Amino acid sequence: MGGYSKFIVLGLLIISMTIGMFSSLYSFQEVSQRITAHTTLSAWSLAQLELEYQKLSTELQLYRAGKSDGDKLSLAYDLAWNRMDVFLHGEESAAVRSQFGAEALIQKVFLLLQQHESLIENLPSPDSPELAAWEQQLLTLQPDIRQLMIQNFTGPGATRGMDSIEATVKHISWVLAVVALLSLLMSYLLFRESRQHWFLSLHDPLTTLTNRAHFLTLLKERCYQASVKRQVLSLCILDIQRFNEVNDLFGYQNGDALLQGFGRILRLRFGKTALIGRTGGSEFALLIPQHEVTTLLPDVLKEFDSLLREYDPAHRVYLCCGVSTYPEQCSTDGELYQFAEQALSAAKKNSPNHYQVFNTCMLSDFQRRRELATHLRAELQVPDSAKLFMCYQPVHSVQPSEKVGMEALLRWRHPLFGFVAPPEIIEIAEEHGLGDALGDWIFRRVFKDLGSLPFWQIERISVAVNLSESMFTLNLPTKLNQFLRNSPILHEQLILELTETIALHDFATSQQIMRALQKDNIRIALDDFGTGFSSLAYLKDLSVDKLKIDKSFIQQIDLDPRQLYLVRHITELAHDLGLTVVAEGVETAVELDIVAGIGVEEIQGYHYSRPLELPHLISYLAKHFHPETPS
């Protein structure tokens, strides 16, 4: 049942239950009121009438026996007269009058009274025969009046009242039964719904395997139990490499079927012993209470391979696994997961369909990175740090120009671990949530460094800063405006370099950020072009100004004609889109001649200069520009 229809059904159930309840209550109240009113009225009027009639008869007997005087008799006569008059002509008694021949009988009795009116006015002596005859007549009619009373209480009218009470009770019972049934149905629907929600909150809807969040919770529990029972646990993370290509080439339906198929394989092989989860888009995890997971993995890889024949005939996709063990290699569930992920990264670097067990080498690498992260956090508190600093590599125009560009490159000379490669610093920062802080530190440091350049150099340079993933957010333009306020360079002298991976991660947001930056006259260069997604199709939709062709295309461009062919075509296409092309990694004069011949506008590489520390940059620029040369 769809989301809306469920609410409609529930709404209708509640409305019909409410209507049923109220209508039953209303009809019950009406019937009982009607019956009570009728019973009260008829009982009262007839009882009064019989009473007065009997009193009259008794008074007549007493008078005749000489035990009462005439006044009492005439009072009883008047009261009986009134009672009958009211009964015969009153509106309230109309209903009682109309049944069981009540009107005719009382009319008869009333006539009897009327006939003896003169007798009451001139009351004869007690032994008068007229009085005896009248007494006899009154006594004769008395049983009829009694009978009328009985009929009124027990006759069909009264039974009809009882019947309608009974009918109403029956009606209410039905309604209540329906209400109870509807309540049961509603409770069942709510129960089913909440059970579904509960299941979906813990499982992946596609494979019905445990989802990432729930898997991590269970992993924590199982690790705790294992530590108490002194058991060994093996965690295996399996990632389907290049899975997106199945989606792209054969459609999402095939992609989904492949994931479901793989989920089935895992369930069949490990369902009884292992905890199985889908922990990412193409990532699965197995937690097995034993050592021997590695003996089982080759079979899984084989089965997966046959599954692939169905969904990926071209065999682009393959499986990689990383394995770690608790408590041998680690002391917490978090570490167990981290180590399996690290082993997985190593497996990815090896041949396809490979598994890698976390080893001591990886452990020492992990410890080193953890230590580096702690030191980096401390270093980021020091804006003038001598260990963490920026180098600047010149970028020259092919055409003679009085302007020089430069790329700011991060350096870390660690007292213990020596030189730490910039990509590793960035990786560690991103992994440990320091990406943002590092980004801020870099911008502050670059603008501070530029502040020490002579003003005639500042006017003639532009500087490119590399962005890491966590820096490329919607608040980047605002942040940069703040930094640039205290910087010696103008907005148009700043270039931001970002890779395709970062730019295409969230295309719509990237477009938004880039448009805002372009509005502020900050330029954007797409870095390492050719190593990632490398599609020129999306470039027209992004506000990019420059394209930096990766150095791997430039190196040996003089020896490999295919490199030359690629660089030429990339350059032509970029020019068609109005972009400036920069060749990175130009090391020799031959390479320079070739890329210049192709039409590349800017050159960066060891041929001109290696990245320079600030004092060397100042000397380099001083050699290039003479203070008097007009800019």
Closest CB to ligand C2E among 449 and 584? Answer: 584
Q: Does 466 bind ligand C2E (CB under 6 A)?
A: yes
Contacts 24+ apart (CB under 8 A), 249-253: 249/314, 250/311, 250/312
For the four alpha carbons of 74, 80, 82 and 85, in that order, the dihedral sign comes to: negative
Closer to ligand C2E at the Cβ: 233 or 496?
496
Tell me which amino acid residue 77 is: Y
Contacts (CB under 6 A) with ligand C2E, residues 540-559: 551
Instruction: For residue 555, state whether it binds Ca ion (rule: CB under 5 A).
Output: no
CA-closest candidate to residue 388, choices 431, 430, 417: 417
* SS3 label, residue 522: coil
Query: Residue 587, interface with ligand C2E (CB under 6 A)?
Result: yes
Radius of gyration of the chain (CA): 51
Rounded to 10 degrees, the C-alpha dihedral 362/364/368/369 comes to 20
- Least separation in angstroms between CB 364 and ligand C2E: 23
Residue from 59, 528, 591, 601 touching Ca ion (CB under 5 A): that is 528
Q: How far is the CB of 473 from ligand C2E (least distance, A)?
A: 14
Q: How far is the CB of 591 from ligand C2E (least distance, A)?
A: 9
3 state SS for 199-247? HHHHECCCCCCEEHHHHHHHHHHHHHHHHHHCCCEEEEEEEEECHHHHH
- Cα(174)–Cα(410) distance, rounded to whole angstroms? 82
Q: Of 219-227, 506-514, 517-525, 601-609, which part binds ligand C2E (CB under 6 A)?
A: 601-609
**Rounded Cα distance, 614 and 602, in Å:** 22
Q: Report CA torsion sign: 368, 374, 377, 378.
A: negative
Residue 578-597 contact track with Ca ion, rule CB under 5 A, x = bound:
------x-------------
With binding defined as CB under 6 A, does residue 393 bind ligand C2E?
yes
* Smallest gap from residue 531 Cβ to Ca ion (A): 8
Interface region with ligand C2E, contact rule CB under 6 A, candidates 118-126, 176-184, 272-280, 415-423: 415-423
Query: Which of 449, 528, 601, 602 touches ligand C2E by CB under 6 A?
Result: 528
Question: Contact region for ligand C2E (CB under 6 A) — 66-74, 478-486, 513-521, 582-590?
Answer: 582-590
Q: How far is the CB of 501 from Ca ion (least distance, A)?
A: 12
Any idea of the CA torsion for 74, 77, 82, 85, to the nearest 10 degrees? Answer: -140
Binding residue count for ligand C2E, defined by CB under 6 A: 24
By C-beta, is 293 or 494 nearer to ligand C2E?
494
Among Ca ion, ligand C2E, none, the one that 393 touches (CB under a kind-dependent 5 to 8 A) is: ligand C2E
409 interacts with ligand C2E by CB under 6 A = yes
Look-up of token digits 């960066």: 604
Segment near ligand C2E (CB under 6 A); pick from 216-224, 298-306, 466-474, 517-525 = 466-474
Of 90, 352, 422, 599, the residue at the interface with ligand C2E (CB under 6 A) is 422
With CB under 5 A as the contact rule, the residue among 57, 234, 282, 466 that binds Ca ion is 466
- Convert 392-449 into a string of H (helix), E (strand) and C (coil): EEEEEECCCCCCEEEEEEEEEEECCCEEECHHHHHHHHHHCCCHHHHHHHHHHHHHHH
User: Using an 8 Å Cβ cutoff, are 198 and 299 in contact?
Assistant: no
Tell me which DSSP letter residue 493 carries.
Answer: G
CB nearer ligand C2E, residue 63 or residue 529 = 529
- For residue 606, the 8-state DSSP code is T
Q: Which of residues 237-296 bind ligand C2E (CB under 6 A)?
A: none
Q: Which amino acid is at 93?
A: S
Question: Per rule CB under 6 A, is residue 424 in the interface with ligand C2E?
Answer: no
Q: Are 583 and 605 in contact (CB under 8 A)?
A: yes
Inter-helix orientation angle 102-115/129-154, to 10°:
160
Q: How far apart are CA 464 and CA 495, in angstroms?
A: 4
Min separation Cβ 320 and Ca ion, Å: 27
- Name the one range near ligand C2E by CB under 6 A: 63-71, 298-306, 362-370, 465-473: 465-473
Contact 322, 237 (CB under 8 A): yes
Q: How far is the CB of 620 from ligand C2E (least distance, A)?
A: 14
- Indicate which single residue of 251, 334, 423, 454 sits in contact with ligand C2E (rule: CB under 6 A): 423
**At how many degrees (to 10) do helices 3-64 and 156-202 cross?**
160
Place of tokens 């009897």: 112
CA pair distance 318, 315, nearest whole angstrom: 7
Identity of the residue, 329 or 466, whose beta carbon is nearer to Ca ion in the bound complex: 466
Pattern of binders to ligand C2E over 345-384, x per CB under 6 A? ----------------------------------------
CB 46 within 8 A of CB 99: no
370 vs 481: CA distance, rounded Å: 34
Interface stretch with Ca ion, choices 286-294, 439-447, 519-527, 618-626 (CB under 5 A): 519-527
Instruction: Answer for the pair 527, 497: CB distance below 8 angstroms, yes or no.
Output: yes
Phi, psi of 331, deg, nearest 5: -115, -10
| Stretch of 158-166, 460-468, 475-483, 538-546 lying at the interface with ligand C2E (CB under 6 A) | 460-468
Among 468, 487, 510, 571, the residue binding ligand C2E under the rule CB under 6 A is: 468
The answer to whether residue 426 forms part of the interface with ligand C2E (CB under 6 A) is: yes
Residue 277 binds which of Ca ion, ligand C2E, none (CB < 5-8 A, kind-dependent):
none
The reply on whether position 442 binds ligand C2E by CB under 6 A is: yes
Q: Which stretch binds ligand C2E (CB under 6 A): 51-59, 178-186, 189-197, 404-412?
A: 404-412
Q: Does 527 bind Ca ion (CB under 5 A)?
A: yes
- The answer to whether 500 contacts Ca ion (rule: CB under 5 A) is no
Binding site for Ca ion (CB under 5 A): 466, 497, 527-528, 584
Binding site for ligand C2E (CB under 6 A): 393, 408-410, 421-423, 426, 442, 466-468, 497, 527-528, 551, 584-587, 604-606, 611
